[in-house]
Structure 1
């Protein structure tokens, strides 16, 4: 059975059109464990054909055992293909793609799309293993200047806006409508956005979704342990017990206060006004003194200095 080193040597010396090779995924992030494969991305010159047949016959050394990962696409002319190479010590997840994929991505305006953020984090942090002409370094330099260095301009305000709107919707579903499953879904999304806000405020891209709420990832954030505590509290809360829902928002407020320090951007946590203003008005309008009592126990907007 072939080795990772043998595959890498074959790719750099014997495969036509290879412009660069990078290490991505959990091995690059430092989160790898016994279940992790090693993600290797191979960037090919744009005129080099890519297909599953080429990947399994030309791109791998003779005798390499592999499995092709079907991704539901036409394989005759593709921008990338993915195969798993079964080496003696690990699974090598080999993604073979044209450099134009990275070039097209770099030309996009930064945005809040989940896939864009995950791709941006991958492209900007992937570890260069082979880049003789500086193709990856050039693209990463561009992304550093036009996306990473401007996080406070495009990512932080957009996340804050989405967090605020999700906060209001979650309160409506959990406090006013007592929609159990809808509230849990929105509250979970709220915690995810709060974690993303923490990273963005620190000037870093949020980690990929599967690691976002991992305690070992959150430990680098102020009040990061509070975020994992919110998940535990959410599991115990229920819209059938309104006090437990309000207690969740009080715990959320405590984490906000410890994590979000930009008073100008967060303006006193304005989203908490759903309790101090909107619910108060609705309680009077609908003759619901119980809502008034809940709003009194809920978190208040804080004074901006």
Structure 2
């Protein structure tokens, strides 16, 4: 695979990405830009990044960059991704890829037209345990899948200055935490045919707690997310012959237990990735996959294709709309 040269937009979650790329891949981050130039220069010095650009435009047009990682607040993703694509750069966009399904379609369509790889940074798809789950289901070990249950919720004290509580920054539970269980269910069940939603709106007008039932042609997903409730952050996949249980946090490197029989009493295997649990959580594996796809000439991830990215955003669109409409009645 090519030793890609990355430009990073944003220095928040970007820190984990830079470290993972440096420690676990042949790729390198060579440039960075962010709103606060003083903090960005300190960030670059700490992480040994050679170039600090004064603007997104300068970074995406840097001939020394092959790919761009976008790690800014959600509402900025679309314009920055489109700028990178227009400059001919491959793009990895932090999740959620955008603020809506319509914006996700615009980004992915632009990538296809430009002939560059566009990926949403759902790094959990590239963990070894994700491959085990896919294979167990594909081989029929747990029979026909009927239900997926997953949740991700935590308590965030209200602070109007926090991104989580700021509507203008894409705050709320669904876009920040809910995308994990929704994306997990999507990877197993496929696109929804029906979506039922119950939720609460918190201070400043963001979705604070949301529960979803998603029906698909394959089965149903029971999903929850919150920024006011501490949820267990586990996931299960239930089938006609057994099930899969993923320990907390289900979206990071953790133990996967596969069972068969009544009441799941016949354990047939436990898969664990404890080493990854203490480093980057799989971000380095995602960067490696990205470089492989570039080398193969792919325009989308085979493990997380564009249509699925859009479908997940559609679920979030429907859920947010339902919560806000119920609150306004």
- Name the TM-score class by shorter chain: under 0.3
Q: What TM-score results when the alignment is normalised by the length of structure 1?
A: 0.24
- Give the structure, 1 or 2, with the largest relative contact order (CA under 8 Å, sep 6 or more): 2
Point out the structure with the larger helix share.
Answer: 1
Structure with greater proportional strand content: 2
